Structure 1
Amino acid sequence: MTDSATPTGSAPEGADPEALRQRALAALLTARERTALLTDSVDDHELTAQHSPLMSPLVWDLAHIGNQEELWLLRAVAGREAMRPEIDGLYDAFEHPRATRPSLPLLAPAEARTYAAEVRGRALDVLDGAALDGGGPLVRSGFAFGMIAQHEQQHDETMLITHQLRSGTAVLTAPVPPAATDTAGLPAEVLVPGGPFTMGTSTEPWALDNERPAHVRDVPGFFIDTTPVTCGAYQAFIEDGGYTERRCWEPGGWEMVREHELTAPLFWHRDAGRWLRRRFGVTEEVPANEPVLHVSWYEADAYARWAGRRLPTEAEWEKAARHNPASGRSRRYPWGDEDPSPELTNLGQRHLRPAPAGAYPQGQSPCGARQLMGDVWEWTSSDFLPYPGFSPFPYREYSEVFFGPDHKVLRGGSFAVDPVACRGTFRNWDLPVRRQIFSGFRTARDM
């Protein structure tokens, strides 16, 4: 794996503008292909229905994707007049909570598809003529195009969550992920030596504002799980009374457990002595060797307490994933600087589930931890806060309005995340009660 000073496989700042243009084009086309899969696989009734008050109707996401692309690529970058100014408010995520969106006069499915397609056609014309080696920060290195590709993929992930929440027969299929074949001798945990490392980035061209700037963190040595916590390990927590032991839980988590009578991860149920789960319309036995999925921060934290351990901090997670003691530098990904591939990680909705714990040995980090990228989002103990020197760009509502103790940081991506929206510095965040997301965790301990 490469560990060079200049990233490979992805165009760094100052790269050839034609290479940037082709990268942006590929990212936009890949995102739209996935959007079509997620919206064409159900009928119009299911597109307009709200499958959970936690999520938008799929048709809202579809038109919102087009509206954001119009706002940034056609209006902000190209300076064109608004195509449909009367719908801006309908698709403003901050103006209308998800639970209320079905009551809005939304574009019908056919109209939403037409609008998104018309915006895309014009946006590709803008990309074709954009001077990516100059201009303002929105255009330089193709940032705005990369931002919009990431935005669409993030909504594709939320639409996949909606697919998981919907009732009815399965409409999505995918092959099973590769087996974990060399796990017999894997240690339960690995050591990450203490010392400074570079966290965040100042050079990744499409990094979002909360990933910037790069800065040095001094992290004491610690141990971290070699793999994410498995369903089998989590079952031991359940069977030992984990959901009935007040001592394991933060006050907010205990309140959540009591109020909603929680006894297991979301989508699990007990039948004839077996744990079963519902996964994209299919009911199946919970696989013991797969990373546990659909657990809240409170559940992850309670498990760690029960196990006599803790969740890693965000800085610990990133150091375990990126820092190479041999070179003293931080990689783009656990395995090196080259872009993700099917041999290295489970990303891009290539599979509809995590791979077994210990899979992807070629993708392990220098400390020996596996699956730090892909499979499941991993909860950390950290609040979502700005880095020293943070500056909002290009709008406050992407990151800044969420900073504070209400949101916890998740790292590493999941099988539902596209590579364009996942890297070693990428930061996700959510409320500690969230369970519908594709979240798991691994634990840590002090030396």
Structure 2
Amino acid sequence: MKAYRGALLRFDDQHQPVYDSDGLLVIGPDAQGGRQLVHAAGAYDALAGRFPDVAVEDVRGQLIAPGFVDLHVHYPQTDVIGAPAPGLLPWLENYTYPHESRFADKAYARSVADFFFDELMRHGVTTALTFATSHPASVDAAFEAAQARGLRFITGKVLQDRHSPDGVRDDTQQSLADTEALIRRWHGVGRLGYAITPRFAPTSTEAQLRGAGEIAARHPDVWIQSHVAENRDEIRWAMELFPGARSYLGVYDDVGLLRERAIYAHCIHLDGEDRQLMARSGAAAAVSPTSNLFLGSGFFDYVQADDHGMRYGLASDVGGGTSFSPFHTMLAAYYVGREGQTKTGLSLTPSRLWWQHTAGAARALGLEGVIGNLQPGCEADFVVLDPQATPLLARKTAQADSLDELLFALIVLGDDRVVRRCVVDGRTA
């Protein structure tokens, strides 16, 4: 067992922050001696006497916080960040598809995956739900790279059997057979999980989507991920292709792809019935504010989502998203709250933003109490953050009179320099 002494942040069952300015985090192996878990977390004075023989690393002056959870990101788009385009569909055509065609080469895919995971951890992200490409080799490469780092990681082969160029378009039946084979090979191996991954409804035939739904029914513990209601042109296209569906979201519901552990990126242009369907099914939204702002897609409506009981969490959506940094994502979400709500601007509190990128994202994944928090029993994934990482940040945090002031300073002024240590499964990454 090992312990860390410093300021300590975690969340209670009501999603409220629990903070100890002088805290102790005790980690150690589970009962089987394998996975590293949190054994105790709380005020140093209250806990130190219970663990007299445990070595304590002193990181006072720094903040121990849960590792960040990225609810939607495309590892093959690492090199597409910052590609200029007038909107989503031309961005896909001109940049994304040509680049993703290279991931048929497993060696190339692995080189990108290695960089991608190192970049995630450098920014304090310890769990990610990630798109691969339509090539099974891209899935194998990502899982192997994540496994080597001990990460909790979820990905899947992209399904896209129409309206896609040569090099990324797949065959309907082969794509479904590949999905089944990859689930058997990787799902539940260590900390790895599989996600059935239609790119988005317009690039899949109804036969492919129905086949994906049948696989999901056979494997209720795997995840599902796709995109929905990101862009108005995309919505019009989807409804032209699926005229019998009530809505774009309804396309997925009709084929059995809305349920617990289903994560849909964006969810911007939903109506009330869609939001009720999301809540009723247990599916969750991956809110991707830097991507939505960059591509001009629109604003996620927090007020309506909350009113309808939707689950959601934050996501970088690289490469439409502009940064791997959770701090940049949280700040962009704050802008969206201020500018994009139905009636009046919403000022999202710093602790709520932080929850959305940690324990809230874990809840959306169906992994509440497993990741995204530092309560006893959670997996030992955490970050050590330096509130004095830059001169301006140090000046600002020195004046913080509350937890919200401290967290908001980190959100507004923080970047990768704040992350002094990223601990994955109890080991420094």
TM-score higher than 0.5 here?
A: no
TM-score (norm 2): 0.26
Between Structure 1 and Structure 2, the one with more strand by share is 2
TM-score (norm 1): 0.25
Between Structure 1 and Structure 2, the one with more helix by share is 2
